[in-house]
Chain A
Amino acid sequence: MATASLAIVALVVAVLALGLGDYPLSPPEVLHALLGGDGFASTIVLQWRLPRVLAALVFGAALGASGAVFQSLTRNPLGSPDVIGFSTGAYTGAIVVIVSGAASAVGTALGALVGGLATALVVYLLAWRKGVHGLRLIIVGIAVTALLHSVNSWLLLRAQAEVALSASFWGAGSLALVGWSELLPGAALIAVLAVLVAGLARPLRQLELGDDAARAHGLRAEGTRLALVVLAVALTAVVTASTGPIIFVALAAPQLARRVVRSAGVPLLGAALVGGLLLLVADVVAQHVTTTPVPVGLVTLVIGGAYLISLLVAESRRTR
């Protein structure tokens, strides 16, 4: 099964990634360290590399699932939390906190959370007309994103140079600072959210049939949609608060998963697996391919930009 093979590929890549670094380890050495070996190798694997690899998998999966929910609800491959303004709003919130001088890690995370959620709420309300429909949500989201970009630039220009620099670093999105203590609270929240989303997976599939059919099947369409939007926003919010905005995983993972799994509509589990895999690979590239490590958000931005262009070209060919 395609889903199972995705999971296996993710595990294999994870083991390989755990071996990469200034102190290279072979896959057997990595497995030995994971399964309770001791010594320097296991310190490297368990304390230094594992939290970052797990963070890539878990946060990537959360972004993929969040994107899958949005794309299914909007019936549009562009419907993704980063396109409709969420990540930009989170960045605005974080900049406000950093610029105001209260820049602790927790404060920045809270600022990002509030900024992202407020943006989601504004977009949802602006797009509301007797219910929220896909294309309107996307267009309103893109408009709000553009507005927020200019707000962000304005805030950064007014700030002192070093403050602006640290805000920019956060805004690039990075897993470099993730250790066990950063990973665990986020991962726990994501686990809870994942269970709730899984509970709504079947109603989500009924909503794909259109509101009339879904309601004729006994579904409370608008309430279910709102709950799903809140959960998907929360998934992205937790990731963004932990790492800074990581763009395009939520956009690309669901569509890639749809092609790999060949399912009807957007596969939730498949999107989560592809999301985890995508972010892990992007983080390996960010750490090891260039001579100096770059933030993973930069790598996903490049990959995602190329993907977005191909998506738009394919879309324009089809509609012509």
Chain B
Amino acid sequence: MTDPVTPDPLVPGPVPRGGATPAGARPGGATRADATPRLAARAAHLAYDRRTVSASIDAEVRDGSFTVIVGPNACGKSTLLRAFSRLLAPRSGAVLLDGRDLARVPAKEAARTVGLLPQSSTAPEGITVGELVSRGRYPHQGMFRQWSDADRAAVATALAETDLVDLAEVPVDELSGGQRQRVWVAMALAQQTSVLLLDEPTTYLDMAHQYDLLDLFARLHEQGTTVVAVLHDLAQAARYATDLIVMSDGEVVATGAPADVLTAELVEDVFDLPCLVVPDPVTGTPLVVPRRRR
């Protein structure tokens, strides 16, 4: 794994240094601003039972982007991700996948396009790493289709990407928290989707493991995967994202490249935190420094 303290050239290649991002020069995917977004919410009403989270939300994920959704707790960022991943159907409005209404895309077909790392999953007792990762192949299997060479290759690749080859035969119960999270990532990778949704993937991990995982996501992004992540840490969001979606109270309040979006005014407004925004000494991306000392 990469040394987390000096992520220099390996880490987010896509983010140019120096802060300002020239429009249209965003690397890593579509160059045309009017290209069909991979995922889009259009006036979507997102709610659980009687509790409305977003009355009418519009948001887009560009093809080939590393989009990070940020915002204060309970602002609806995970809910938006759930809508993108088909776990939550909008009451009204629509969620589109490549321009098609996601609700009308057959579930397994959608699952071959969009993968999800949920906030919590359960590993069956006694399951090995390799076996758990292989369950990510479900959307590619029919009722009678046997385990194929393509399945085997996808699992092998996923294990290699996540540095788990040596642990393939080990029961998941015996792993550390960081290793276990890598197993869930590997399961999502085995799904071989071109869009990968990550719901707070670094929560409960120590700093080194957080950056290891983020580096992995950055590598996947460089290889062409469209990555959408909900993150809490603004410095990480600024380092890794090509696009930021800033949410507050169920609404999108700002979108764009981190350098354009993350200003002291915005952070103070959205997070209610007086702060300075300075260039990150390592990457030059915006770094939020709170003014309050206690």
Is A212 at the interface (CB under 8 A from chain B)?
yes
Complexed CA–CA distance, A124 and B86 (Å): 26
Chain B proximity of A76: nearest CB distance (Å): 11
**B126:A218 contact, CB within 8 angstroms:** no
Known contacts A130-B49, A199-B143, A217 near B121 by CB under 8 Å: no
Which residue from A202, A205, A217, A258 sits with its C-beta under 8 Å from B126? A258
Chain B residues numbered 173-210 whose CB sits less than 8 Å from any CB in chain A: 187-188, 191
Complexed CA–CA distance, A215 and B114 (Å): 11
Q: Which residue of B lies closest to A200 (CB)?
A: B143
**B121:A212 contact, CB within 8 angstroms:** yes
Which residue from A205, A217, A219 sits with its C-beta under 8 Å from B191? A217
* Interface membership of chain A positions 181-225, coded 1 if the CB is closer than 8 angstroms to chain B and 0 otherwise: 000000000000000000100100110111011011111100000
Task: Give the number of chain A interface residues (Cβ < 8 Å).
Answer: 22
Known contacts A202-B141, A217-B191, A75 near B122 by CB under 8 Å: yes
**B143:A206 contact, CB within 8 angstroms:** no
Chain A proximity of B200: nearest CB distance (Å): 12
**A264:B111 contact, CB within 8 angstroms:** no
Interface SS, A side = loop
Q: Which residue of A lies closest to B131 (CB)?
A: A264
**B139:A263 contact, CB within 8 angstroms:** no
Q: Which residue of B lies closest to A266 (CB)?
A: B124
Q: Which residue of A lies closest to B184 (CB)?
A: A213
Complexed CA–CA distance, A219 and B108 (Å): 7
**B119:A212 contact, CB within 8 angstroms:** yes
**A212:B87 contact, CB within 8 angstroms:** yes
Known contacts A215-B86, A265-B124, A209 near B135 by CB under 8 Å: yes
Task: Please indicate the chain B residues that have their CB under 8 angstroms from the CB of A215 in the complex.
Answer: 86-87, 107
Q: Which residue of B lies closest to A259 (CB)?
A: B126
Task: Please indicate the chain B residues that have their CB under 8 angstroms from the CB of A209 in the complex.
Answer: 121-124, 132, 135, 187
Chain B proximity of A215: nearest CB distance (Å): 6
Complexed CA–CA distance, A265 and B125 (Å): 5
Which residue from B107, B131, B136 sits with its C-beta under 8 Å from A220? B107
* Interface membership of chain B positions 94-113, coded 1 if the CB is closer than 8 angstroms to chain A and 0 otherwise: 00000000000011111110
* Chain B, interface residues (CB within 8 Å), range: 35 or more
Known contacts A206-B138, A209-B135, A219 near B122 by CB under 8 Å: no
Chain B residues numbered 61-86 whose CB sits less than 8 Å from any CB in chain A: 85-86
Complexed CA–CA distance, A189 and B118 (Å): 39
Task: Please indicate the chain A residues that have their CB under 8 angstroms from the CB of B138 in the complex.
Answer: 202, 206, 217-219
Please indicate which of the listed interface residues A202, A210, A216 has the most CB atoms of chain B within 10 Å of its own CB.
A216
Task: Please indicate the chain B residues that have their CB under 8 angstroms from the CB of A288 in the complex.
Answer: none
**B127:A210 contact, CB within 8 angstroms:** no
Q: Which residue of B lies closest to A199 (CB)?
A: B143
Task: Please indicate the chain B residues that have their CB under 8 angstroms from the CB of A199 in the complex.
Answer: 143
Task: Please indicate the chain A residues that have their CB under 8 angstroms from the CB of B120 in the complex.
Answer: 210, 212
Is B230 at the interface (CB under 8 A from chain A)?
no
Q: Which residue of B lies closest to A215 (CB)?
A: B87
Task: Please indicate the chain A residues that have their CB under 8 angstroms from the CB of B191 in the complex.
Answer: 217
Chain B proximity of A75: nearest CB distance (Å): 7
Which residue from B106, B122, B131, B139 sits with its C-beta under 8 Å from A210? B122
**A218:B124 contact, CB within 8 angstroms:** no
Q: Which residue of B lies closest to A217 (CB)?
A: B138
Complexed CA–CA distance, A265 and B118 (Å): 20
Complexed CA–CA distance, A93 and B124 (Å): 36
Task: Please indicate the chain A residues that have their CB under 8 angstroms from the CB of B132 in the complex.
Answer: 209, 264
Q: Which residue of A lies closest to B107 (CB)?
A: A218
Complexed CA–CA distance, A258 and B124 (Å): 11
16 contacts between A and B (CB under 8 A): A209-B121, A209-B124, A209-B135, A212-B118, A212-B119, A213-B121, A215-B86, A216-B86, A216-B115, A217-B135, A219-B138, A258-B125, A258-B126, A264-B124, A264-B126, A264-B127
Q: Give the 5 A-B CB pairs with smallest separation, nearest first.
A: A218-B111, A264-B127, A265-B124, A212-B118, A218-B108
A205-B135, A218-B108, A264-B126 known; 11 other A-B pairs, CB under 8 Å?
A209-B121, A209-B123, A209-B124, A212-B87, A212-B120, A216-B115, A216-B118, A217-B139, A218-B139, A219-B138, A263-B126
